[in-house]
Structures are given as C-alpha cells and as structure tokens.
Structure 1
C-alpha cells in the first residue's frame, strides 16, 4: 500500500472514531438516557417525547459544537505551526481570547434581552479587532519575522485583558461572573442557531487552507525556498493567519476560551501523519474534535449536578502534556 493509501485509511479510521464518539457521548448528561434509549430515538422509536427533546434539541447540538470547536482549534493550531515554523505557535497567541473577552464584557453593558445575540457577536468582533491590531502593528518589515508576530500577539493579549479586568472590576457582580465563566470555556450555549454560523465559517476556512495546501507546504522549507518556487510568501502567510483567526474567533465567540487544543493536538498527530498541510489539518481536526467531545462529557458528568468549565480541563491536560514532553526531551 502506498503512503497516500495508508494516510487515507488512517483518516477513515479517525472518521469512524468520531462517528462513534458522537453517538456514544449523547448518552451522557444530567438526565441519563442510556445507549438503548439513544438508539431508540435514532431509529424514530423514542418511548417518550422528552427523550426526543433532550437528544435532538440539547445533546446533539452540544456534541456537534464540541466536535466543531475541537476540529477548528486543532486545525488552526496545525496551520499556524506550519506557517510560522514554530511548534509552540497557537491561534490564541493572536490575542483572540483577550479580544473576545473584551467584546463579551462590553456586551454586558447592553440591555439583558439583547445579550443572547450581542454576546457572541461582540465576542467575534472583539476577536477580529485583536487580530487587526496585530496585523497593523506588523505591517512593514516586522511582518517578515515570525517571532515578531508571536510577541505582538502576546502584547495585544495583555493589553486587551487589562481593559477587560478594568471593566469587570467596576461592573455589576452577576454580569461579571457570567462573563468570567464564559471566558473559561463552555459548550452550554450550543444550539442550532450557533451551528448555523459556526459550520459555514469553518467549512470556508478549511476549503481555503486545502486549496493552498501545496503552497503552504513550501513554507515548511524556508521563505527563500518558497519564493524560488513562485510562492508569494507575505500574501500566503497573511491569508493563512486570517483563516486561523476566523476559525478561532467564531469558536471563541460561542464557546469562550478553550486553551491548549490548538497547541497540543498537532504534536500528537504529527508523528503519525507527517508535516504536509492537507493531511495534518484533516487529521488534527478529527482528533481535536474527538478529544473535545469527551472532554465535554467529563466536564458535565464528573461533578453531579454541576458543569465544570471545559477550558479548565483542557488547560490541565495541556499543561501536563507539555511538562511530560519537556521531561522526555
């Protein structure tokens, strides 16, 4: 079997694993349905209408959002690491979470009946605002140096976080707690309306990345080598970073801050699928989606009657993972 055939078979196995994860995870939650009831509802034989409501109106959108969030964050992380040739690059280094947090905090100043729409919209605008600041700062010669990109993202993140903390300090306690919990990361806001925004953005960004996969692979060598192959390095890198920013921003706007997925998953996947962009993006996305599905299951079942912020769990796992990697190295 050729290398391409092996890669396709591995991708097929990951797709099957994702499908099983989606089906199995829908049986977990505050209301324990069990796999038999889930299967009955999937085959239109639900014994009670409430099971149908729980499964299709609550569980399925949340599980699908978990998969899409993990897919987008892991794929964005893999793309950013390839584009910058930095294994520690992460989409959150743009200051995206800090920008989204500032937008969400400002939305809390609006009337209560508008916040269901204003919070994700303001978070999305805030995330793109943070990216815009980074890009504007780096326009010119600094744009050609990858380390400047990362440092500018960190600086913007601290700046916007300071504004957020200032507003929260003087804000109303209940609204501040709501924003703080949202910034920790949660899939509780998942519904079909949210999916109608998330799915198109992720699909368009993924298609763009795959269309330019060959040119992106050239960046793995060096900027000079890519230019000799006819690649416009500056425009291609800008396009790739915009794709990463858009995918991350739309996830953060509905799910809050979910750290370490984009940093950790590509490291796990790369030894099995290699460095080439197309295979790495798809495999990282599928593994990241499957990972976040089960992290969310843990978040809503480990403490009876309560939900742990999903970003807390991913941060603990990610931190331990990299401490282990540093120990081995």
Structure 2
C-alpha cells in the first residue's frame, strides 16, 4: 500500500507541472521553464502563463481533490457506493442562483425593474459565483429540512429528498432561462456544463481554505468515520455519536461541493469514480481514502482539463461533458463487475 501511495503522490506532483505545457498558446518548453524560474520573455507570455494557464491548473487540482473527498466521505457516511456529492441538489440550486443572477445583472430586466441604480457597480463575474453559492446552500438547507425528523437513522431519505429538490430547482431554473434573453441563457447553460475557462487565481484562495478545513476535520474524526462502516449500532457501542457525526460529515460535503460548483459549474462523476478506484488500490479506511482521493482526484481533473483544451482546435469542450462521458462508462463497467 505504501508503494502505491508513493506512486500516486509522485503522479500528483508531476501532473500539474506537465499540464502547464498544454494549451491554446504555443509556449515552448524553454519559455515555460523560464516563466517558472526567472520570468517570461514577454508581457504576453507572462499574462498567458501566470494569469491563465497556471491558475487554471492549480484551481483544477483543488476542484478535483474537493469533489473526490466529498464523494468518498459521502459514500462512507451513507454506506452507499453510488452516493455522489451532487445528491443534495447542489448543482440544481447553483443553477437556480446563476439563473437569477443572469436575469438581474445581465439582461434588460434589471433596467426595466430599476435595479441598475441599486446595483450599479456589482460585476456580473462576482455576482454569478456568489448567487450560485447561495443557491447551492439553499438546496442543501432545504434537503436537510426535509429529512430532519429521520436524519439520524435513515440516510436513504436524504437521497430521495436530494433527488426531489434537484428536480424542483431545475424546473425553476429552466423556467427562468426560458423567460431570459437567449444570449444570457446560453451563458448559464455553458456554465452549468462545468468549465475552468474563466478561472481566476483568487478562486483558489476561496476554495483552498474550505478544502483544508474540511480535510483537517475528516482526518480528526477518521476513526469515528471508520466505525460507521460497520453499522450505526456498532458505532454507537464504540462511543460514536452517530447523528452528530453524520450531520458534520454531510455539512462538510455540502460546503465543499457548493463552493466548487459556485465557481466551476457542474462537474459530475468525479466524486463517484475516484473513491471507488482508491478503495480498490489503497483500502477503505477514511484517512487513507481521503489522502488517495486528494492525490488522484486533483490529478484526474487536471488531465481532463488538458483534454478539454486540446481535443478540438480553436474550441474548448466543457469539462462536465468529458467527466460525464468517462463516468458513465466507468459506472457501467463497475455494475457489470458487481453483477454475479
């Protein structure tokens, strides 16, 4: 196991640096090494490398790690290998928030309602992630309210509530987009597909603290989370406060997912695939699982983003399309292997 973990760590260390060599702009290896050490040879290359390519790789690694950690924690807490971070309806809630922001900040409705005088200086680039985060948070709270009375004993109620909330918020989002201007609606639809195209470096300083705090708490309660794997009754006999621990774990998953979706849109299947792979490679205990998910999840999304950038000439594929395509195949293979 230690050998596999070291190899995984080496892969995670190499992947971000290797990904810097890929992109729409043709930067030579010498130029890239120069940018990393003494500085780029021109202001244009400096902007391309430090304001576009490097932030995109760094944030992509954080996003992949966060989604994988959230998925692993959720699967262990619910003891459901099919659990995904988006079961809270987070993507649908974020889509609703983004749709409202688009309608208010990027359409003629703001002018018609006289909101331009109230919100004249707010940038749409800031309003979109903030509104998406509020929408994601709203969906999480709504799911928790729906399952409050049975939350401590029946986690399957949360899955059903998440599906119901997801459909309801999606319906609201679609109605808003139907009423919005076509150009504004297209921007939200592209954003919901998941992309790192508009990443800025300050996104990392929002996602990184959330990820670090989440991982620290999960490491701290690692043994308690492992006890949940043998059943709630057995965990209680070991002194674990099961309802409180489950609420804390789900809150961590929700915060991680909501923060990521707010800035990057819907990137599905990462939280479903990566934990399964790590369990087969390294084991099921929480601390080793989380460590593996950080390393492999981040590396995976970095290379998916590279694929999104270089597959089509002069065009970029939304990341969510690629992860969904890979994830669906992975899901079918996993089902076939489990079927007797």
> Shorter chain as normaliser: what TM range?
over 0.9
Equivalents in 2 of 1:17, 1:320: separation in Å?
A: 23
Shift of 1:143: 4.1
Quote the residue 1:159 is aligned against: 168
Distance 1:50 1:161 in 2: 41
Which of 132, 136, 146 is the matching residue for 2:145? 136
1:240 aligned residue: 249
Structure 1 moving runs of 4+ over 4 Å: none
Distance 2:148 2:39 in 1: 59
Normalised TM-score (structure 1): 0.95
Distance 2:23 2:150 in 1: 52
Name the SS for the 2:278 alignment partner.
helix
Q: Is the 8 A contact 1:28 1:34 kept in 2?
A: no
Q: CA deviation at 1:115?
A: 1.2
Where structure 1 has 5 or more consecutive residues not aligned to the other structure, the ranges are 1-5
Report whether the alignment pairs 1:202 with 2:196.
Answer: no
Tell me what 1:19 maps to. 13
1:297 aligns with 2:306: yes
Matching of residue 121 in structure 1 with residue 115 in structure 2? no
Asked whether the equivalents of residues 5 and 282 of structure 2 are also in contact (C-alpha less than 8 Å), the reply is no
What residue in structure 1 maps to residue 26 of structure 2?
Answer: 32
Q: SS in structure 2 opposite 1:109? A: helix
SS in 2 for 1:19: helix
| Aligned mates of 1:45, 1:206 — CA distance in 2 | 34
Q: Paired residue for 2:333?
A: 324
C-alpha separation in 2, matches of 1:120 and 1:94: 18
Match of 1:224 in 2: 233
Please point out which of 32, 56, 59 is paired with 2:50.
Answer: 56
Measured after TM superposition, the shift of residue 165 of structure 1 is 0.6
Match of 1:3 in 2: none
Sort the Cα spacing of 1:134 and 1:45 in 2 relative to 1 into closer, same or farther, 3 A. closer
2:315 maps to which of 292, 303, 306 = 306
Q: CA deviation at 1:109?
A: 2.0
Distance, in Å, in 1 between the alignment partners of 2:28 and 2:131 is 38
Structure 2 gaps of 5+ residues are 107-121
Q: Identify which range, 39-48 or 56-65, moves more after superposition.
A: 39-48
3-state DSSP of counterpart to 2:327: helix
1:65 aligns to 2:59 (yes or no): yes
Match for residue 116 of structure 2? none
Equivalent in the alignment of 2:274 = 265
Which TM-score applies when normalising by structure 2? 0.92
Aligned residue pairs, count: 323
RMSD of the alignment, in Å?
Answer: 1.3
Between the aligned partners of 2:306 and 2:150, the Cα distance in structure 1 is: 46
Question: Over residues 87-114 of structure 1, what are the superposed CA-to-partner deviations in whole Å (9 max), with x where a residue is unaligned?
Answer: 0001101100000000010011223453
Match in the other structure for 1:215: 224
Q: Deviations over 1:22-53 (max 9, x none)?
A: 11111111102132221121121533232222
The residue that corresponds to 2:86 in the other structure is 92
Q: Is the 8 A contact 2:151 2:243 kept in 1?
A: no
**1:206, distance to aligned residue in structure 2 (A):** 1.1
The alpha-carbon deviation at position 142 of structure 1 amounts to 4.9
